[in-house]
A and B are shown apart, each in its own frame.
Chain A
Amino acid sequence: MLLPTNFLIEPRMPTFISANLPRRCLSYFSFIALCCATPLMAQETGSSPENSQRDSADVAALLHKMATVPKTLNYQGSFTYQHKDNPALQSFRILHWIEDGVEHERLQHMNGVEREFVREGKSLACDSLGNQLLQGKISQFGANLARLDQLYKFEILGPERVAGREATGLLALPLDKFRHSSLLSIDNETGLVLKSWLVDESSRPLERYQFIDLDLSPDPESMKRPLAKIHKDANSQTDCNPDVLKQPERWQLAWVPPGFIFTGQRQVRQKIDMLMYSDGLTTFSVFIEPAAGVIPEGVAHRGATLVIMDALNYQGKTYRVTVIGEIPIVTAQKVAQSIGGI
């Protein structure tokens, strides 16, 4: 493939200003947008309140399906994955099966050395808080909680075919600048996300994955093949079907973006307090650890994942703070600055 060598050097930070996008790229996009938008716009002008109501019911149904059906299925599928900081296309296989009401999952690398993540033991009856948000089950948490459709503008993009299967495209545009946009293609039959893009505020893709094939009746025995020599366990601990909102112990965040909810807390590496947050589609985690000496401060990212390292002084002690999430840098910075003790 021929790649451009004449990169435009832009002397300014492009993160928040889409006008900084290279002109040629923009004009190309607007050209395509014009051509493609015409039929869509024709449909939209015909939309009425009933239509938009029906759309939002459709969106809710799609998200509900995505949150509830896949976990009950046995399946095996392959997909490719790519993120913005590495042009290499990676490939993975995912295995999922139910045994005695418990989920078993394996995520295997198909390139390079054999290695995999394994997750076992999550009960089918157990819904995490994030999963409940996705299902729209929020009434029990009080009227003040923002619904997903108050955080994102959802748009159904119509039928698609992905991995040889019928799917529905769904675009989730954030209504604020505190989260990224997603583009999901959701399998009509199973609710599995067959294709996903995460896109930043300048409409640059941060990461994307896409299924190539999906087998819904895999042989359960073959899925239990011995684990790869390099494997790690993925933690599946979570509060099950919580019906009240909790607050973190010891720490509090004076600010989180609208709609983000504290989903749990645990200790990692013995001494680090980890606080978890989700809005149903987007997550971030906060890590706080007592530290001495020089505390590294700075920003790192890989693909969609952003890491902010910061120092916190609280009651005469110093702490090392790390905020990690698939979130824009403004969000991470604001969160890092709003950590305090109770």
Chain B
Amino acid sequence: MTEQIQPPVLAESLSALMDNEASELELQRLLKALDANPEVKTTWSRYQIASAGLKGKLPVMASGDFASRISAAIEAEETYSQQPVVAAKPEVVKESNVVAVPTSWWQQLGRAAVAASVAGALVVGVQQYQTVAPQTAEIAATTPAAVPANVPENKAANLPSGFNAPALSARTVAVQSGYESRPQESRRVMYVPRQEAAPVYNEDISIYVNQLIQEHTDNASMNSGQGMLPYTRVILTEEE
């Protein structure tokens, strides 16, 4: 379900081709699609990687592109390497670092949020909504991302149907409009029900999921080598 990026017919043909079972017709169609739609190529290479992985033939994962983008992200991170390499870099790079780094980080976040919201129909929901003030907590309030900047963030607003609200943008809008309340984590869990597009809120499910996340975090904390740090993922409030 999650992997149906291409039209199902193409995906099936791709899959058939992987198994050497594609018909001549399918092959032609794929080749044609390849030119028109670069994603077919991406999917093809992903299938190959997956297949190689399953057969244990994978020397090194992913594209060099992936690694280099991660390297770039690290490079952009605001720690200061002791390697003289950094200092020796051309001035222009340094400059672009200085200017672009924060932008890039935030842009990436923002885009991830927006993209995720648009993609809700397929898989992922956006769960972390901004909190409402405690006294109004019983109002089912989430702030859509695209609210005009002059709408106060904590004003209760019903989610328009089919609209997923990335919390991030809501926050940025609010910050720009001078909203000053301290951001807080909310325990509210929204989820995307199977075969539906928009995330929904159900109090029982939210409580249930939060409790299980804490139980899971015991596992994460004992078995992933980072001590108690995974508990940052559990939202601790007075409620419950």
With beta carbons under 8 angstroms apart, the residue of A94, A131, A177, A199 that contacts B50 is: A177
In the complex, per-residue mask of A40-78: 1 if CB is within 8 Å of any chain B CB, else 0: 100000000000000000000001001100110000000
B232 near A3 with CB under 8 A, answer: no
Residues from chain B with a CB closer than 8 A to the CB of A105 are 227-228
A17 near B39 with CB under 8 A, answer: yes
A8 near B114 with CB under 8 A, answer: yes
11 inter-chain pairs at a CB distance below 8 angstroms, sorted by A residue, are: A3-B110, A8-B114, A10-B115, A85-B127, A161-B80, A234-B228, A236-B222, A268-B215, A298-B196, A300-B192, A300-B199
Residues from chain A with a CB closer than 8 A to the CB of B180 are none
Given contacts A35-B90, A177-B50, contact A161 B82 (CB under 8 A): yes
A244 interfacial by beta-carbon distance below 8 Å: no
Query: How far in angstroms is the closest Cβ of chain B from A21?
Result: 8
Number of interface residues of A (CB under 8 A): 139
Counting chain A CB atoms within 10 Å of each CB, the highest count among B68, B123, B225, B234 belongs to: B225
Query: How far in angstroms is the closest Cβ of chain B from A150?
Result: 9
Stretch at the interface among B12-20, B135-143, B167-175: B167-175
A117: nearest chain-B partner, CB-CB: B231
* A-B residue pairs, 4 tightest by C-beta: A130-B223, A85-B128, A88-B183, A278-B223
B32 interfacial by beta-carbon distance below 8 Å: no
B34 interfacial by beta-carbon distance below 8 Å: no
A316 interfacial by beta-carbon distance below 8 Å: no
B98 interfacial by beta-carbon distance below 8 Å: no
Where chain B touches its partner, the secondary structure class is helix
On A, residues with C-beta under 8 Å from B are 1-4, 7-22, 25-26, 28-33, 35-37, 39-40, 63, 66-67, 70-71, 79, 81, 83-88, 90, 92, 94, 96, 105-107, 109, 111-113, 115-117, 119, 128-131, 133-134, 153, 155, 157-162, 166, 169, 171, 173-177, 181, 183, 185, 193, 195-197, 199, 201, 203-205, 207, 209, 230, 232, 234-238, 263-264, 268-269, 272, 274, 276-278, 280-285, 287, 296-305, 307, 309, 322, 324-326, 329-330, 333
With beta carbons under 8 angstroms apart, the residue of A25, A201, A235 that contacts B218 is: A235
Query: How far in angstroms is the closest Cβ of chain A from B125?
Result: 6
Residues from chain A with a CB closer than 8 A to the CB of B202 are 296
B225 near A66 with CB under 8 A, answer: yes
A204 near B79 with CB under 8 A, answer: no
Query: How far in angstroms is the closest Cβ of chain B from A25?
Result: 6
Residues from chain B with a CB closer than 8 A to the CB of A117 are 228, 231, 234, 236
Residues from chain B with a CB closer than 8 A to the CB of A90 are 185, 232
A71 near B227 with CB under 8 A, answer: yes
Query: How far in angstroms is the closest Cβ of chain A from B139?
Result: 20
Given contacts A7-B111, A14-B119, A309-B205, contact A329 B222 (CB under 8 A): no
B9 interfacial by beta-carbon distance below 8 Å: no
A129 near B223 with CB under 8 A, answer: yes
Q: How far is the CA of A85 from the CA of B90 in the complex (A)?
A: 35
A25 near B216 with CB under 8 A, answer: no
Q: How far is the CA of A14 from the CA of B79 in the complex (A)?
A: 29
With beta carbons under 8 angstroms apart, the residue of B83, B167, B238 that contacts A159 is: B83
Residues from chain A with a CB closer than 8 A to the CB of B108 are 25, 204-205
